[in-house]
Each structure stands twice: as structure tokens, then as C-alpha cells.
């Protein structure tokens, strides 16, 4: 009887699983996933083309290669393919960086110039990398604009749709939970790469207090509660052994900033 009971349980479990799987519309599921990938790829290209047409992009080899040398250790320590990130430097006085669909990461020259050290800059860039790695970008756009609109846009965007997406990416914050997740993921990226995250927290705190810079500081105005976030990071780091290894010398980092400032003139 025990053997028969076990057999009945096995067969019953099998048919239950079969019944549940039969209720799933796999065609629709995979179609949705394909649409997501298609939309993300196309929207990323569309938005970047719009930025490239209307903004001054820095292509200077020295500047681009220096930023790459800063990002590479962060990527390598966290198993992130550097080539998977499409990093762009744009001449803009705003203290900001933002992630876009299809792994685009836009860095404004104002952010580089405002960063006192490489750790502060890498903390912000790590935050945006986390938005990319955690798929926060499409979650944000799907919630605020609508997935059906994004798919439609990918097949033929008009100017107003492009403007709406770009404005959503550059001047509105993510949900608080996503912002905190990106903050803490950036901190973990830095710790794994032996980069001290404390200057990242200090940078946010200083910007939140600098009233004169607020008109240029979209990083703070679009990322609310910066002071609280800075304190949260510092509390998380209490008691941790922090290894810190400079990527660039202080002189080399300042030269990098100066080159960016000259290129912007």
C-alpha cells in the first residue's frame, strides 16, 4: 500500500505540474521578453542619437581613455564587461550622470569637474552602473511612460516621445528603494575594487549643503534626500575594514579635470 500511495503521489504531482504549465502562454511570454529587448535596444539608440545631435560630446582620446582607466578596475572587480557599457562624456555644466536603455551611461563634464577625487566620481558612476545592471532604467520608463508606448516608440518615435523619455531619464528620480539599492550596490562595487566609498558619501553630503551649486546640481535635485543617503552609506561602512588603492595619482586626476574644463571652453 505504501508503494502504491507513493506512486499515486508521484503521478499526481506530475499531472499537477503539467496542468499548471499548460496554463502558461509561453508564446506570449517570450514575445513580451523579445519586445522588451527590442524596445530597450532601439530606445537607447534613439535617445543617444538625439543627444549626439544636440549636445557637445567629448571625443578627446586623452579624456576618454582616462575615464576608461578609472572605470576598468570597478568593472573587473565586479565581473562587469567594460565593453558592455556605452560610456559618453557630454559637455554640460550640470553635475550629473545618468543611465539610459541599452547600457548607455552619460557623464556630464560638470560632474567630473565638481568631483574632488576619483572616489567621489566613481561612487556616482557606480550608482548609475547599478541602475543598468539591476535593470532599473526600463523599470522606471515602463512605470512612468508605459511599456506599450515604449514598444511603439521603438518602431517609430516622434520628437515629443523622445523629449519625454530624455526628460524622464535626466530630471526625475527613481523610486526611493531603487535609489538606495543603486547606492549600496555602488558601495559594494567600490569595496570589491579596493576603492574607498566614503568620499562618495561626502560628495553627496557636500552637494546637498551647497546652495550656490543647486542650480547646476541635477544629481541632487533629481536624487532626493542626499544627506540621508550619505549618512546611510557611512553607517553601513562603520566597522568595515576598507582597503583603498588609488587608480590615478592626485596630480593625474586634477590634470584630468583640467583637461575636461579646457575641452568645455
Diameter of the chain measured on Cα atoms? 87
Rounded to a whole number of angstroms, the CA Rg of the chain reads 22
Q: Does 130 reside within a domain?
A: yes
What letter would DSSP give residue 173?
P
Range of the domain at 140: 38-264
Q: Does 260 reside within a domain?
A: yes
Q: What is the model's pTM?
A: 0.81
Q: Does 8 reside within a domain?
A: no
User: Which pLDDT score, from 0 to 100, does residue 213 have?
Assistant: 46
Q: Is 116 left (phi over 0), alpha (psi -120 to 50) or beta?
A: alpha
Instruction: Tell me the CA distances in angstroms from 206 to 172, 238, 255, one per residue in order.
Output: 21, 20, 22
Q: Does 23 reside within a domain?
A: no
Strand segments (E) across the chain: 57-58, 86-90, 97-100, 104-108
User: Which pLDDT score, from 0 to 100, does residue 9 have?
Assistant: 54
Checking DSSP bridges between strand 104-108 and strand 97-100, what pairing results, if any? Answer: antiparallel
Which CB contacts under 8 angstroms, 24+ apart, belong to 203-209?
203/115, 203/116, 203/120, 203/123, 203/124, 204/123, 204/229, 204/230, 205/230, 205/231, 207/95, 207/114
Task: List pLDDT tens digits, range 89-127.
Answer: 999 999 999 999 999 999 999 999 999 999 999 999 999
Find out whether 136 and 163 touch, Cβ atoms under 8 Å. no
For the cut 60, the answer to whether the pLDDT of residue 2 exceeds it is no
Task: List pLDDT tens digits, range 24-77.
Answer: 443 333 334 444 566 788 888 999 999 999 999 999 999 999 999 999 999 999
Residues 6+ apart with CB under 8 A from 260: 58, 63, 89, 109, 112, 113
Q: Does 210 reside within a domain?
A: yes
Query: Which burial class, exposed, middle or buried, applies to 27 when counting CB atoms under 10 A from its CB (0-12, 13-18, 19+)?
Result: exposed
Q: Does 1 reside within a domain?
A: no
Cell reading at 10: 508521484
Task: List pLDDT tens digits, range 234-262.
Answer: 999 998 989 899 999 999 999 999 999 99
Number of domains within the chain:
1
Cell reading at 59: 571625443
| Phi and psi torsions of 180, nearest 5° | -65, -40
SS3 179: helix
Q: Does 13 reside within a domain?
A: no
Q: Does 3 reside within a domain?
A: no
Task: List pLDDT tens digits, range 178-237.
Answer: 999 999 999 999 999 999 999 999 998 887 776 554 444 445 444 447 788 888 999 999
Amino acid at each position: 500500500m505504501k508503494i502504491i500511495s507513493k506512486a499515486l503521489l508521484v503521478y499526481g504531482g506530475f499531472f499537477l505540474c503539467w496542468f499548471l504549465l499548460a496554463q502558461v502562454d509561453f508564446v506570449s511570454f517570450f514575445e513580451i521578453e523579445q519586445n522588451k529587448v527590442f524596445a530597450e535596444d532601439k530606445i537607447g539608440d534613439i535617445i543617444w542619437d538625439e543627444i549626439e545631435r544636440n549636445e557637445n560630446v567629448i571625443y578627446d582620446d586623452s579624456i576618454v581613455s582616462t575615464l576608461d582607466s578609472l572605470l576598468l578596475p570597478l568593472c573587473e572587480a565586479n565581473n562587469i564587461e567594460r565593453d558592455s557599457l556605452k560610456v559618453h562624456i557630454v559637455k554640460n555644466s550640470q553635475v550629473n550622470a545618468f543611465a539610459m536603455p541599452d547600457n548607455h551611461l552619460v557623464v556630464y563634464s560638470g560632474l567630473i569637474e565638481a568631483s574632488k577625487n576619483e572616489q567621489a566620481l566613481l561612487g556616482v558612476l557606480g550608482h548609475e552602473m547599478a541602475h543598468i545592471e539591476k535593470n532599473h532604467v526600463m523599470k522606471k520608463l515602463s512605470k512612468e511612460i508605459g511599456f506599450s508606448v515604449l514598444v511603439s516608440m521603438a518602431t517609430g518615435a516622434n520628437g515629443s516621445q523622445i523629449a519625454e523619455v530624455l526628460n524622464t531619464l535626466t530630471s526625475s528620480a527613481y523610486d526611493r528603494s531603487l535609489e538606495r539599492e543603486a547606492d549600496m550596490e555602488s558601495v559594494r562595487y567600490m569595496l570589491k575594487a579596493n576603492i574607498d566609498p566614503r568620499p562618495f558619501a561626502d560628495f553627496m553630503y557636500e552637494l546637498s549643503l551647497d546652495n550656490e551649486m543647486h542650480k547646476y546640481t541635477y544629481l541632487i535635485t533629481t536624487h532626493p534626500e542626499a544627506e540621508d543617503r550619505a549618512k546611510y552609506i557611512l553607517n553601513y561602512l562603520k566597522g568595515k575594514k576598507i582597503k583603498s588603492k588609488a587608480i590615478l595619482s592626485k596630480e593625474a586626476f586634477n590634470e584630468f579635470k583640467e583637461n575636461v574644463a579646457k575641452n568645455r571652453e
